[in-house]
Each structure stands twice: as structure tokens, then as C-alpha cells.
Structure 1
Amino acid sequence: MPSGRNRRSGASLQVSGAPDKVAQVHVGGRGFLIATVDFWPPDPRLKRYVSGYHRYTLVRDEGDTDSAFRDVFFPAWSNIRFTFDAEPWGVRVGRRAFDPVPACAFFGPTSHAGYVSAGSGILVGVGLTPAGWARLHGGTVALWADRIAPLDQVFPVLAAARDGVRDAQDPAAFFDAVLLGLVERSPPESPAIDAIMSRLLDPAIDRVEGLADGLGLSARQIGRLTRTCFGFTPKLLLRRARFLRAFDAIRTLDRGLWTGAIRDAGYWDGSHFLRDCHLFLDMALGDFMTMERPINRISMRRRDEVLGAPMQSLARPDGA
């Protein structure tokens, strides 16, 4: 099982470490999986394009042979993911189910949480920012929104790198080398992308006009740019960002402190926040908060420590 620290302040969850550094995932009866989660930052030259690298390793208890565990991903930007020695696994995003997920997969940007059912195996991935999508692909990412597809349909050159990913002793260094080469050969992206990404994280900006202010773009042009590079309309992006800010603010607070945190995130009252829970989580807040989701909880803590944000869609562009 992979463990230890990577050369650029990466983090690894050790099976022999403290309880907050390991997920023991119960999968039915007395069976369980031990999960280790690694995050690494990209080369500084890639920070505008890559939100980080990740690896999830799940090892099944010898006494369990076929039970599945369930966990969740938050709404996010695009991701490229490879699985190795993995049992078939599936993801539900909104009303769509992807089962099995391809061994080389492209996860488009999501406006719903992704609910996972999986067994043992290794998953290695790359998080792309909207600028990363624009620089490395340049097409309309809205075509892949809330979808999972075989990677060779979206990034054939990266799908062909699967054997290199498997053999890499240092996954982050491998991805850095591949992606830096692609960036150097790609035309520059619009500087407005980073500006919009930063403004989505500002609770004072709650209208499309605020996203467009000072960029020299009309509301229609902003809409075209966000669908092309972010995957969704400006209004949905603003609503998603507000919800994730609020959820992040309350997740470690006592319930009595939620009202102020929700308002600081941009909501007028709690009822709007609770409605958005159904939209983005596909369930009531109370049901979600009582889910075990051990890997999700550990991932948020470790991602925050290593990459500077507990969720991919809350990360700021480099220099913002």
C-alpha cells in the first residue's frame, strides 16, 4: 500500500497513523476496507491549470470478498482519473448513473454531488481548473457537464499515458512532465477565466453583472465563456459557489452557529440554503450530514492542508 510523503509537501494517510489519518470503511457485516488518500500540488507553472493530483488506495479486509462501500464527491470542476487493479465501481451524478466507470475516465464538471459505490483498487487522478480545460482542450466542456466518459473520447493523448501512470514511482512528477509539455504546445487561454473563477468565490458577487464587471464582456459573452470553460451558466455557477461556501462554513460548527455562517456565505436566510441542499446534494441536509462518508471527510481535511482548499471548486486560481 502506498504511503509516505511526496517531494513537494504531499500528504499521505498512513494505515498505522492516528485515527484522523486513515479511513476504515465498513462495507457490510464485519467486512471493511482500509483507505489511504494522497494529495500532491502541481508544479508551480501548472497551478493555473491543475488544482492538484490525488490517489485513493482501498485494500479489502481478507474476511470480505464482495461488499461495496459508499461515499460521495462534492460538485467539482473536471477531473481525469485512472483506476488500477480495481473492482468495478459506479458513480451516480444527479439522475445519471455511470456503472461501471471506465478504467481511464474523464469526469466532467458537476452541479450535483457524485455518489460512489466501489470496492478495492487504486484510483489516481488529476484535477483540472476551468483555465486548464481551456488551455489543454479548448472545446465546450458543457458537453461533458454532469457526465463521465472514456478518457480517449476527450483527451486521447492522456488516455495513452495510462501505463506510464501505473509505473510511475512519483505520480505528481509524471503528470507534471506530461502536462507541462501539453501546455507549452497549446495556445493561451482567455485571462477572463481566472477573473471569473476568483469572483465566483466572493460572497459579495451574486449577480452575472458582477462576474462581467471590468472584463469588457457582455452578459451573453460571459454566458458563452462559462458554458465553454466552466460547464454551466453564470447563474448556476454563482448558486453552486454560494452553496459550497456555506456548506464549508458550517461543516465544523455547532448548529446554533449556522445562521451567521450561511449569511456570510451569501444567503439571505436558511430556507434558501436548505433548498439548495436538495439541488446540489440531491437530498436533505440532515440526511447528508448523518452519512458516514469517511473518505469524503478525510479528503476534505487533507486536501485543505495540502492544496489550500477543502473542495476543488473552492480553490482560487494562482495569484488571485
Structure 2
Amino acid sequence: MSGYRERAAAGLDCVWERSSDVATSGRVVPDGRTDIVFTRGGGLVVAGPDTTGHVTALGPGEVFGVRFGPGVGPSALGVPAHVLRDLRVPLAELWDGVAELEEALAVAHDPCAVLADAARRRLRATPPDPVTGAIAGAAGTPVAALADDLGLSTRHLHRRSLDAFGYGPKTLHRVLRFDRAVKLAWAGVPFADIAHRTGYADQAHLSREVKDLAGVPLGQLIRP
């Protein structure tokens, strides 16, 4: 039996799991987030923030993940987001005690819950930069105005955005708008309505942005 599902997890964007009876592939696209991924028999890996879509091979078996909200993961992982951009890195390179965590995950009835607890413990010890929410929520605000609102220079704002998200503010807002559009498309919203609701100039603008960030047209991206 194969499938993918997400569920809510307090303090995190979500936890997710994927299972497949056969080897397959899937397209990963930018979403402004960082994941910790556990594969049975394959250990723990950090998936850094992506800048463009790519196809990844998926072997048969079960995969479990915890997804941090935008700007949150790097504080738990202990490195700036731009260091992880477009990379997949063994968690053992960033955290101590990973062997023990992998042992707990291997026998857990609900590996997602174990991963979520580990992620929340790290976040309690090292909370995210307090400006990340303001940066992520400022779509459409000119960078200079946002910096002024936060009492930062534009250079300082750019550096803190790179550290938290892996992107500067303009790229971040582009990626987050794309992510909102893709979620609406998966929910069955007509493409013209998606363009209007997410602030694209028109459907053609939406199509260009999706093709640029995902590498394929929106209809192909959401095809089962």
C-alpha cells in the first residue's frame, strides 16, 4: 500500500509520512521550509531549503518527516539556513546523540511523534530569531520599508533572512507565494482564482513562476 499524508504537530509546520511498495520518484519543490527525514534502514537526514524543483528517487518502504515552519528549522539545527540551501545533510553532522534517536525511531510505533518531540526540545533550547515571523509575513512590502519597520539596515535584514530562511526577503516572498499557490491547486481551486488570491498579475504570471520554480507546469506538478 502506498501513500503520503501530513498531520498537524504543535509548534511545527507538520509531520508527514510516505510509504510505497515499489521504487518510484517524486518532485520536490521550494516551500521555504526545512525538514528532518527518517528512512527505515537509512537514518536521519536534513533537507535544506530548496531554490528550484527537482526529481528525487524514492525507494520502497516507509519515510517519516518533521517539517519546520518558515525560518524555524535553522535555530533547531544549529546552523544558518543558507548553509543547508539545496542540500541533504546527515543529521549526525549537526546534532549529537543521533544514533540514540535513530534507535528510538527504529522501534517506535509512531516515528513522527518521536521526531516531533526531538525537534520541539531543540526549539525550546534555541528559539528562532524573533524577526522571522515579521519577515515571512511581509509579502508585498518593499525591502527598504520592511527593514525600516524592523529597525534594521537593509543589509542586516538580508543577512538575517539568509540565516533564517536560506533566501533574501524578495526570494523568500516569491517562494512562499508559490507555495500558497501550489497548495490551492492541490485543493482544486481554479488556476485563474489562484492567481488572483495569491497576488499574481494574472494566470500567465502564475504559470511562468510555477514553471521557473518547479521546473514543470502547474497542471503537471499536481497530477497524481
| TM-score, length-scaled by structure 1 | 0.61
Name stretches of at least 5 consecutive residues in structure 1 with no aligned partner.
1-33, 61-67, 86-101, 293-320
Distance 1:158 1:199, change over 3 A: farther
Asked if 1:154 corresponds to 2:87, the answer is: no
Equivalent residue, structure 2, for 1:112: 52
Asked if 1:189 corresponds to 2:122, the answer is: no
Identity %: 23
| Residues 119-175 of structure 1: per-residue CA shift (max 9 Å, x gap) | 311111111234432432342211211111222223343464111111112334423
Q: Distance in 1 between matches of 2:122 and 2:75?
A: 9
Contact 2:136-2:172 at 8 Å conserved across structures: no
Contact 1:250-1:262 at 8 Å conserved across structures: no
Aligned partner (choices 167, 181, 205) of residue 232 of structure 1: 167
> Which letter maps to 1:118?
L
Equivalent residue, structure 2, for 1:284: 217
Larger-Rg structure: 1
Distance 1:56 1:166, change over 3 A: same
Equivalent residue, structure 1, for 2:34: 78
Contact 2:34-2:47 at 8 Å conserved across structures: yes
Q: Distance in 2 between matches of 1:125 and 1:70?
A: 17
Structure number with higher helix proportion: 2
Q: Distance in 2 between matches of 1:70 and 1:217?
A: 43
Q: Distance in 1 between matches of 2:134 and 2:44?
A: 31
Q: Distance in 2 between matches of 1:244 and 1:210?
A: 24
> Which letter maps to 2:34?
S
Distance 1:279 1:160, change over 3 A: farther
Equivalent residue, structure 1, for 2:189: 253
Q: Distance in 2 between matches of 1:78 and 1:159?
A: 21
Distance 1:171 1:272, change over 3 A: same
Distance 1:283 1:159, change over 3 A: farther
Name stretches of at least 5 consecutive residues in structure 2 with no aligned partner.
none
> Which letter maps to 1:71?
G
Contact 1:107-1:149 at 8 Å conserved across structures: yes
Asked if 1:243 corresponds to 2:178, the answer is: yes
Distance 1:224 1:284, change over 3 A: same
Distance 1:279 1:210, change over 3 A: farther
The correspondence of residues 113-128 of structure 1 with structure 2, limited to 5 A, is 113-128=53-68
Contact 1:249-1:262 at 8 Å conserved across structures: no
Aligned residues: 222
Contact 1:41-1:52 at 8 Å conserved across structures: yes
User: 3-state SS of the aligned residue for 1:166?
Assistant: helix
The correspondence of residues 157-168 of structure 1 with structure 2, limited to 5 A, is 157-158=97-98, 160-168=100-108
Distance 1:180 1:253, change over 3 A: closer
Q: Distance in 2 between matches of 1:123 and 1:79?
A: 12
Q: Distance in 2 between matches of 1:267 and 1:38?
A: 29
| TM-score, length-scaled by structure 2 | 0.84
Asked if 1:58 corresponds to 2:20, the answer is: yes
User: C-alpha displacement at 1:84, in angstroms?
Assistant: 0.9
